[in-house]
Amino acid sequence: MKISKPILFTLLSVFYLNSMIGQMIILSGPEKGSYNVIVNDMIRVCANDSIGDIKNIPSSGSAFNFDQLVDPNTPVKMVMMQSDYLYYQAMLDNKNNTKKTVPLSVLMPLAYEEIHVVTRDEKRLNKLQDLVEKNVACGTENEGTFATATLMKDRSRVFWNTKLIPYPQALKELLGRQIDAFIIVGSAPLELLNVNPQSLVTQIKIMDLENVNDWAEFYTPRIIKSGTYKWQNNDVQTFGVRTVLVVNESKLTADDRVFIDQFTNAVKSNYVNLVEKGHPSWIEVNFADWDPTDWRLYTN
């Protein structure tokens, strides 16, 4: 039996997690995604401050991270996640009369992630409405992007044909004209899209997004500036979702809470270092910019 790469990646992640009981870990995201880079940045500055051992475990995305965080049988206590996925799970709790999100707190608000709708550079693909009945890749069900794309599709009533494939494959299929577009959510620039335009057989672009049928009411307007990617010649109007570092307080021991205080203090006190040497999105991070009425903040 052939196992797909996303499923294999998830199985390997679970196996790796089970071998790390007793260690403080952070589930980040795909190896070529912004989450992975941002968590590595945080661990680097914590090492400078001699904070205890902490591991970055790449994962398949927000959905996988959430499932591991709320599962009482895993050692996962801290994960990266899209804020809209957190709100989505709270809505499911209300709908299904469950309490998965009750013990979850936002440890730190981080940067915004931009919604990238990547298409071929063709005149017929310019706006969201042009994707009606087109084939659009939306990542996999383990990724927060899938939830964002589903909300976009349902709320905008622009009904494309959703295809679930991992992003490296999506880029290949876009260039090979097997799909018409793919959606990916992440803090620009994304490593996946940092390709040399001279190597592209078919030129690509990021689509400008409008708030069709008010689908983006709860998202933040964002601009992906010209030149963010070597093949990008114009500013792109899009929307963003906040990245959050989330903890499950029901899993925390007294020692964990001491460690988390040291960790958060190290990250915040090394902010200048993070801006200078880390992912470009650090420059926009404001740790105080969070409304606790949107979601409760962690307090020790």
Rounded to the nearest 5 degrees, what angle is found at the Cα of 287, between the Cα atoms of 282 and 293?
Answer: 135
* 43 pLDDT more than 50: yes
E strand or H helix that includes residue 109: strand 104-120
pTM over 0.95: no
Give the pLDDT confidence of 184-214 residue by residue, as tens digits.
998 888 888 988 888 888 889 999 999 999 9
Give the pLDDT confidence of 227-252 residue by residue, as tens digits.
999 999 999 999 999 999 999 999 99
| Domains of the chain, CATH where assigned | 5-110+244-284 (3.40.190.10), 113-241 (3.40.190.10)
The token pair that represents 62 in the structure block: 């927000």
The answer to whether the peptide bond before residue 292 is cis (omega within 30 degrees of 0) is no
Q: What is the largest CA-CA distance in the chain?
A: 59
Strand partners, 54: 24
Amino acid 192: pLDDT = 85
